[in-house]
């Protein structure tokens, strides 16, 4: 019983994290048709920011980190992506990959290639006992925060006028401009939200791993990609569902695989993903977006 509950909590927490990651990618893709490889580096920037402000009280540290990451996201959009905004998908993809690589190596130039350890988030280290079962505090925190953020995003996208503009831009960017949606502004808003999600994910990842290095974002961004594909490119609900699905599958494999095979957990998850895609290549909850065709 204890393992079942712990695995469930683990799955939900992992799923929540993956869902946040996937949303960050899906949001930008929806609006711009851009897959942002450098999203992982936004998380890396968040991680390093947390290390640098770790002396501050937690709320201040979090706010400063979020501000830095959002600023980086807006800068990224302005300098690297706006010049290629109307290019074909391949150019967009490779540009974001090159940017990701650039940022990783700039980080190496500044911080060196070895990871820095930090005690940020160590307050969440211990476990809480619920009904006699030990559950990690970090997991609970992730689940709560993820649920809050996802709900908030759902409200913003579904109910506000900004959300209407974003959905219109995601469906038909050119037509949205013809009814007055300001292209620059809506893209900036998308990047800002994406940055906020990245900062949040970065905090929890730092809390869980205790260190930040230049390749901090590579693993998470990969997960985000997979979740986005499986969910249906550009589909926000799909990203959330797929994120939780991936978290669930990963947690189950972690529990169920024999010890010798546990390091290959990712390969097993990947195999599951491949099968899912063969069966349903358009994704779990496909969305009508303009860029995805052939």
Rule CB under 8 A: which residues touch other proteins?
35, 80, 83-84, 86-91, 93-95, 97-99, 101-102, 104-106, 108-109, 161, 164-165, 167-168, 171-172, 174-183, 215, 218-219, 222, 225-226, 228-229, 233, 263-264, 266-267, 270, 273-274, 277-278, 281-283, 287-288, 291-294
Least distance in angstroms from the C-beta of 98 to other proteins:
4
Least distance in angstroms from the C-beta of 76 to other proteins:
11
> Cα separations (Å) of 175 from 139, 165, 200, 236?
43, 11, 33, 21
Give residues with Cβ within 8 angstroms of 108, minimum separation 6.
Answer: 214
Among residues 142 and 269, whose Cβ is nearest to other proteins? Answer: 269
Cβ atoms within 10 Å, residue 25: 29
Strands, E assignment, 131-238: 133-136, 211-212
Among residues 225 and 244, whose Cβ is nearest to other proteins? Answer: 225
Least distance in angstroms from the C-beta of 288 to other proteins:
6
Among residues 137 and 167, whose Cβ is nearest to other proteins? Answer: 167
Instruction: Report CA Rg, the chain.
Output: 19
Task: Supply the DSSP symbol for 123.
Answer: G
Among residues 141 and 153, whose Cβ is nearest to other proteins? Answer: 153
Give residues with Cβ within 8 angstroms of 16, minimum separation 6.
Answer: 142, 143, 145, 146, 147, 150, 243, 244, 247
The Cα 94–Cα 48 span in angstroms is: 25
Among residues 98 and 256, whose Cβ is nearest to other proteins? Answer: 98
Least distance in angstroms from the C-beta of 11 to other proteins:
21
């Amino acid at each position: 019983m204890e393992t079942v509950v712990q695995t469930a909590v683990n799955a939900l927490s992992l799923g929540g994290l993956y869902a946040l990651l996937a949303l960050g990618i899906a949001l930008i893709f929806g609006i711009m048709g851009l897959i942002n490889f450098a999203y992982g580096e936004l998380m890396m920037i968040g991680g390093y920011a947390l290390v640098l402000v770790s002396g501050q009280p937690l709320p201040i540290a979090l706010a400063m980190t979020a501000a830095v990451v959002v600023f980086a996201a807006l800068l990224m959009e302005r300098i690297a992506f706006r010049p290629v905004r109307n290019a074909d998908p391949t150019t967009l993809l490779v540009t974001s990959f090159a940017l990701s690589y650039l940022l990783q190596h700039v980080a190496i130039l500044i911080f060196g290639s070895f990871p820095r350890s930090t005690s940020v988030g160590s307050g969440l280290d211990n476990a809480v006992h619920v009904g006699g079962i030990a559950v990690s505090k970090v997991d609970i925190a992730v689940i709560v925060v993820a649920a809050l953020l996802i709900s908030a995003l759902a409200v913003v996208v579904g109910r506000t006028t900004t959300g209407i503009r974003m959905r219109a831009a995601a469906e038909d960017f050119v037509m949205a401009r013809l009814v007055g949606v300001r292209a620059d502004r809506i893209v900036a808003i998308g990047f800002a939200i994406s940055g906020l999600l990245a900062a949040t994910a970065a905090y929890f990842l730092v809390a869980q791993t205790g260190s930040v290095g230049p390749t901090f974002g590579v693993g998470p961004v990969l997960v985000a990609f997979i979740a986005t594909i499986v969910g249906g490119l550009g589909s926000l609900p799909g990203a959330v569902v797929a994120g939780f699905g991936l978290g669930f599958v990963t947690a189950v494999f972690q529990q169920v695989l024999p010890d010798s095979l546990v390091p290959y957990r990712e390969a097993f998850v990947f195999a599951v993903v491949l099968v899912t895609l063969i069966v349903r290549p358009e994704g779990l909850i496909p969305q009508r977006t303009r860029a995805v065709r052939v």
